[in-house]
Structure 1
């Protein structure tokens, strides 16, 4: 599998080389024509430029030209820039997949730049080192090297270098899903490249900035960046970049739901790809066209594009094949062609698993690279230590030879040297004894600190237990006076003879005490659920339980003119009656609480073989994507608010989730903002 992965990557690079090399060929040919009539210093620059231009298309050519450039630089004994060809060779080695050799050449480039005090090349060396580590997933080393490059570029005020570093840092932050910091870095890179004014680098910066804005869901800014990049690509007549920008822009518009504009851009990009016979972009363009037609429900138009992706012969573009199979499966499923839908969905699952294996192989390769680098670093340290030791031995031998010559004439000097050596050995022994004593003291300190940590852990456990106990005591102590207040308020209400203002305050008092009692009940329930009580399973009729709970909530629903409907049947199940009751109460209470007046709440039951389905559907405000992230967290209040002034403590759904998990069930939410929500609970009909 790993071998197949490398073959796939190599094929992808060759396709990329064919697409981009055509743009570079005329420039490379022009540079090569200048070589014979240029002096040695000019040849050094030309060889580097040619090698750099070849790095993506033919990295072996980069290695050849830059090796010649390095030899010319050594002949000229250049005071600066001698590390540049070594850096370019390191880049070429990385593009070939020889990351160990790439590491070696980047290390040599940095050492040469340090020897020459060449700040510019040293900064570029650290930047290249950072990108190498980033590509191999070692983000810590990548960040350290990029920060070193950034500090040097800031001192020497090199805008082009700063832009490269900021873009590299943006990639690191994106890999960590820290898109705000990634945006900051991308904006800085864009401003620098805008100041330099080179259109191709500015185009690249705008595309990168648009992608970051798209991750942040900032649609207007993303569209503006893609539009500016599109304009620059048209102005410089860069057809390949223009096609890629429009593909990326259209893909973003599909994700953001703007299918009409996505359709227009996708057709423009597809036409350019076909016209230029761009084999690298063709699979991506076909998938995009199929996806756009699928989203627009134009299934017959989508199928030919998607099948072109599915029928690709090579192992490249497995991710595109996976997605194409998925959309074909969905299309045939929606058009009623079950057998074809099943075939494509199965192929989608196979490719999905294959990509997981490819990703695993890639991670293994990255780990092997990191191990190789760590091993090489240890070897370098050992070599340095051995070199220092050998130098010390050589110096000692020279000293001994001098002493031997001098002994012939000065016997007294021999005695003095012996005494001095004895003294040194004694001092070394004393230092070793002191070091051993320090190590022993540190060991005893570690033992003492471990004992303190164990003691602190026990104390924390005791404090947690005291907290739970205190929670129960406080909750129970608050419950009694609140019940008395509620009872007294009810008696006053029954007395009658109250004016409208008094009735208003009495209603507020009843609502406040009811909310307080509900909060205490939820707190006690959450606290008791944390104890992990085992469910008590017993048979009962789920249809009757739901009918009873609807009756219990009918008064509350009538107060808001809400109609509660029961649909379907599940019959008898063996489960924890109290747990199911509490799940139903919490879901039904939330549905009434967040539904507008004059609406309908529907409770549906269904028997699915070994499982029963219970769903509660309302016509409330629904849940946003941000709400769904915190749906079942304790005390987390979401964006929606009760429609009748009711209280919400953020515990209801958390309790439902805990109880459903205890019963080995599952809960799902189907909701869109402004279109209501439906919670679906699946529970086993009987315990396993």
Structure 2
């Protein structure tokens, strides 16, 4: 079959008609919802039908009515009142966009009654908010404020963030109509923040559009244009023509306000073209008014007239009082410019009447706002009182419950306590017996240790002392060969190391059995100077310079313990320093303590060495530079002595950079 040109035209028309309902809404979301719809049943199917209908509300409200009626049928069968309330709310929105406000009001009332019957505060709040917007369109601002405020309270009590954003948007529009732009901006910003937190693109677009319009009114044109362009881009990406038309109207209003009439006219006609493709009538009057006002300012009176007449007719039809007031004002101006004074006078009188009506609405809003605030405070007080009574009753119930449980718990506790007391006494008896045995063993071990120390002190130290004495005399009583001298030196070195180890073991033993120091007044400068003099010969053997920088201080401490600590530190500094190095002794006073520093130029300590430097019998990586002995007890003794003197010792060292030991002791 051959397709003629007329048939082609018809096919194109049919294709446009088929794809037209897919424009101006979230096609991706609708596709996903319809996909889920195929496998859903019962209440779930009703909810999905409502959600699909909601997506068509602005562009194709008839589709909204269709899907929501299907949802209502299922909800009635399932006796599911919550989806039914939602259906009526969405159908009310569709009626409003179709230009049937009275039908919308009936739907909102049905939604509220159903939601109230099942205590569904969210749908009750939506019904309040939708009803408030209807009264706002009719310029009944007092009723609008009452409904918006109730919606806000219900949404906040239910913690419904999406609903709260709707309520904030509505209140912003209301404050804007009252020229309270500070509160209008505050409400709009709250709505935007909630939408952004929920990542809800449509809500973000409407909030940015609303804030941009407010910036335009307050004179911040740069911010206004920036926000409106952002909203325009988002709406274009989502292919939502209804939102795009609303943004175009806001941009047209902005350019009209700034005197850019060509841009304003361009945006106005773009909005008009979009609205012609949609079945929504809500914005048509606003579009006509904008175009009429722009053309009037351009002195194109003939072209402006049909737009202004259409705006006045639409606003009167849909009871848009504020829009009708503006339309009559500009019609009076236009007819005046044309010389049609009679018509101009008619519209002037209409404008005065409508403007007075608006002013009366504003006064009524202020009174209603005050009364409603008092009602809110009274309700809050009643709620607080009821809460207090309920808390008191709950406390009484809890107290009685605790009394009932108390007797049983007391019996259980007493029985349990008696049982554990018996078990504890038995266990304590066994533990005491074990401790007695262990204490006896510890006493025996301590006695064995003391005996060992006695052996070390007498049976080991005496022979070593004799050997050392004899080896010291040998060079004097006979002429020794070089090899014999080496052997004698080796004997002297070994016996000296053994005696040093025995002395340090005995010193540790003495410290462990001596709990308190023998306190006396010690002159720090005198003691340090003596130490320098006593170690000078040892330093000279390695060509080491001993430098002292001493600040005098007198402190109350154990002179013997302090002396032994300094001996060990100075001895180590010389022992581990290379030839021709420098060992520095310094002292001073800081606040209520004295400090002593012994610094050398030895190999220093690694991080691993620092962790065990004060432990007994720990061999470190650094070794004495002239073959001296080191048994790993000296620094352990120093730390014990310093802590017994209620002081502390710290080590500052890096590998290859020497070491510095700092002792800090209290002056008293």
Bigger radius of gyration, 1 or 2? 2
TM over 0.5, yes or no?
no
Q: TM-score range by the shorter chain?
A: 0.3 to 0.5
Calculate the TM-score normalised by the size of structure 2. 0.40
